[in-house]
Structure 1
Amino acid sequence: MGVLSDYFRAADDAAAIGLMAELDGGPVAVSGGRPGVDAIDLKGIEPAVTLGKLVGFVRGLAWSTDLIEQRLIWSGGDEGPWLIALDDATRDTLASITAAQSPELSARWGQIEELAWGDPLPPGELLPVIEEISALARRAQAAGDHLYCWCCL
């Protein structure tokens, strides 16, 4: 069973939770977008492990469970969906990724078991994903917004 993950930016927790009410629990990222919502769909890239490993690579640190500080701020119940607030240090780390770093990060990230599923991904396959998440983080940082992840099984 895969995890659906939409990453988006919002001014604060209240705005992110309000979005859940507006969207009847989500999803947040949809084809064609939603007016006023800056969101990306990153199926299978949950924040704790998969995104955490990318953050670790950028920071030059080994992955650990506390690498990304996250808080559950809304839940649709035991079966989900869930809304997770990510710490601003994660936002800033993702925003700091440069075009020069991206190829190496893509190659390394494509080797983790959560993404490779037995065989490493081609070195450049995750470049678009890295570009999307880092661009979202830069827009959030520039606006003084925070990053959130909507997850569902």
Structure 2
Amino acid sequence: MGVFTEYFIAERDDITAEIIESGPERNLPAEDMLLAKGVDPVVMLGQLGEQLTGADFLDIGDDEKSWLWSPGGEVPEDPELRRAFLAEHGVEASVHESKDRLRDALADIADEEVAAVAARWATIEEWGEGVTGPDVEWFIEGLIALTRRARTEGKHLYCWWSL
């Protein structure tokens, strides 16, 4: 079993309980989304951000804001209450808002740089063996298109994930 991830762009006010629970697919236009099974927004996308900017991947990949969905009900905002709640009920889905610095670094990748960026990113340990630049070029091209639109339209880059 893996983690299902879907990247999308939106304004913060567009993040609804329905999106947090079931994802953006039924709630946003198809051109605002990019399906990417298992590409986590913190470690994997953070490492791409690190390669592009030189910033530590945990810093640039960390979320600006996140929303959680749990079968136990509404997840408390207070960190202590949140930890206790999640220990008891778990989390099944989340929406992660990427930092605008990461969004902008992705948007700034020139079209002629995609192959080189993909080749370098394909070397991270999290991809496992056998992944090459051409295997991940489609994802980088999709992110570039999304992030360019997001920046132009004043939106943010999000990742919805579910177990």
TM over 0.5, shorter chain:
yes
- Equivalent-residue separation in structure 2 for 1:53 and 1:35 (angstroms): 28
- 1:55-85: CA deviation from partner (whole Å, max 9, x where unpaired): 11111x2643112241443211223201111
- 1:113-139: CA deviation from partner (whole Å, max 9, x where unpaired): 111x2x242332211110001110001
- 1:96-153: CA deviation from partner (whole Å, max 9, x where unpaired): 11112111111111111111x2x24233221111000111000101111111111112
User: Any conservation in 2 of the 1:107–1:121 contact (CA below 8 Å)?
Assistant: no
Q: Going by fraction, where is helix more abundant, 1 or 2? A: 2
From 109, 114, 129, the counterpart of 2:139: 129
Count, aligned residues = 144
Amino acid at match of 1:125: D
Structure 1 residue 39 and structure 2 residue 49: aligned? Answer: no
User: Any conservation in 2 of the 1:106–1:123 contact (CA below 8 Å)?
Assistant: yes
What corresponds to 1:66 in structure 2? 59
What corresponds to 1:15 in structure 2? 14
Using the size of structure 1 for normalisation, the TM-score is 0.83
Structure having the higher Rg: 2
What corresponds to 2:108 in structure 1? 96
Structure 1 residue 28 and structure 2 residue 27: aligned? Answer: no
User: Any conservation in 2 of the 1:72–1:82 contact (CA below 8 Å)?
Assistant: no
What corresponds to 1:86 in structure 2? 98
Pair 1:24–1:139, CA change in 2 (3 A): closer
Aligned to 2:135, the other structure's residue is in SS state: coil
- Tell me the percent identity: 31
- Equivalent-residue separation in structure 2 for 1:53 and 1:62 (angstroms): 9
Q: Which residues of structure 1 form unaligned runs of 5+? A: none
Pair 1:29–1:84, CA change in 2 (3 A): same
What corresponds to 2:75 in structure 1? none
Pair 1:80–1:71, CA change in 2 (3 A): farther
From 85, 101, 126, the counterpart of 1:114: 126
Aligned to 2:43, the other structure's residue is in SS state: helix
Amino acid at match of 1:81: A
Pair 1:90–1:44, CA change in 2 (3 A): same
Using the size of structure 2 for normalisation, the TM-score is 0.78
Aligned to 2:145, the other structure's residue is in SS state: helix
